[in-house]
């Protein structure tokens, strides 16, 4: 077992040395580039084409007295051309950091979605899509207004059978935990009573009250709700 431990120890030492030599070679190579090419060209090449080389390493190799943020401002923006997913027109995407470019590259590997990080449509197609969706929303609002008008004008008994009222009724019963709001019973038939008809067909929950059969009858007989709870 000791021999195995010694072998693995030597492997770790060799791996560390290889890593150090790679780092030294990389730095020397970058310094050589800075002597033979314009600084701006070297910075753009190292920053955008070799993302595995950290910004701090590049600053150190080029002997620049800059912070990573200031260094990034020295690099020219990266311009990547893609095609509009609707009309195939070219789109020119501009990036100022490696992080933005990385997200862009990840997004391109995914299928187009309604909401995506990178703009995948040209400005003309964007405008057309926006106009189409806006028109759809306006049409939907008009349909909804027309339906409300029909519901408000139909006989009350017929309105109580409508799917809109049934949905509202169920929501109110659920909010009251399926108990009478007056006597708190859940042992008998429950009704959903209108406090006001002002917003019929688009009632708020405060417009309604859940009453058991007896409390509801009392209200319609005497015009008032019970003041004491049943036992």
pLDDT at res. 4: 67
205: DSSP letter? G
Is residue 119 situated within a structural domain?
no
Higher confidence at residue 135 or residue 175? 175
The helix-helix angle for 163-175 and 123-153 (nearest 10°) equals: 90
Higher confidence at residue 188 or residue 27? 188
Q: Is residue 22 over pLDDT 80?
A: no
Question: 77-81, 179-183, 225-229 — which is least confidently predicted?
Answer: 225-229
Is residue 13 situated within a structural domain?
yes
Q: What is the mean pLDDT of residues 75-101?
A: 87
How many angstroms from the chain centroid is the CA of residue 99?
19
Q: Are 205 and 171 in contact (CB under 8 A)?
A: yes
Answer yes or no: pTM beyond 0.85. Answer: no
**Domain termination site, one of 76, 107, 142:** 76
Reported as a pLDDT band with limits 50, 70 and 90, residue 119 is: low
**Domain termination site, one of 44, 76, 108:** 76
Per-residue pLDDT tens for 136-183? 666 677 788 888 888 898 899 999 999 999 999 999 999 999 999 999
Burial of 69 (0-12, 13-18, 19+ CB in 10 A): exposed
Identify the H or E element spanning 212: strand 208-212
**Domain termination site, one of 49, 76, 103:** 76
Is residue 149 situated within a structural domain?
no
Which residue range(s) make up the domain with 215? 154-222
Number of domains forming the structure of the chain: 2
């Amino acid at each position: 077992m000791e021999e195995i431990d010694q072998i693995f120890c030597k492997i770790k030492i060799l791996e560390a040395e290889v890593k150090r030599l790679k780092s030294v070679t990389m730095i020397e190579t970058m310094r050589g580039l800075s002597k033979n090419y314009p600084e701006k060209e070297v910075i753009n090449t190292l920053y955008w084409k070799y993302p595995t080389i950290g910004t701090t390493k590049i600053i150190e190799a080029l002997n620049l007295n800059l912070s990573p943020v200031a260094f990034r401002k020295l690099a020219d923006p990266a311009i990547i051309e893609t095609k509009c997913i609707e009309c195939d027109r070219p789109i020119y995407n501009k990036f100022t950091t490696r992080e933005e470019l990385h997200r862009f590259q990840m997004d391109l590997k995914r299928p187009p979605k309604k909401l995506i990080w990178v703009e995948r449509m040209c400005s003309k197609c964007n405008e057309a899509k926006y106009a189409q969706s806006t028109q759809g929303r306006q049409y939907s609002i008009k349909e909804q207004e027309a339906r409300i008008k029909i519901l408000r004008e139909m006989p009350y008994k017929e309105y109580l059978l409508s799917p809109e009222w049934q949905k509202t009724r169920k929501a109110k019963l659920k909010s009251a935990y399926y108990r009478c709001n007056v006597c708190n019973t859940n042992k008998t038939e429950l009704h959903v009573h209108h406090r006001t008809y002002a917003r019929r067909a688009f009632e708020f929950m405060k417009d309604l009250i859940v009453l058991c059969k007896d409390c509801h009858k009392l209200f319609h007989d005497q015009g008032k709700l019970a003041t004491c709870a049943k036992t």
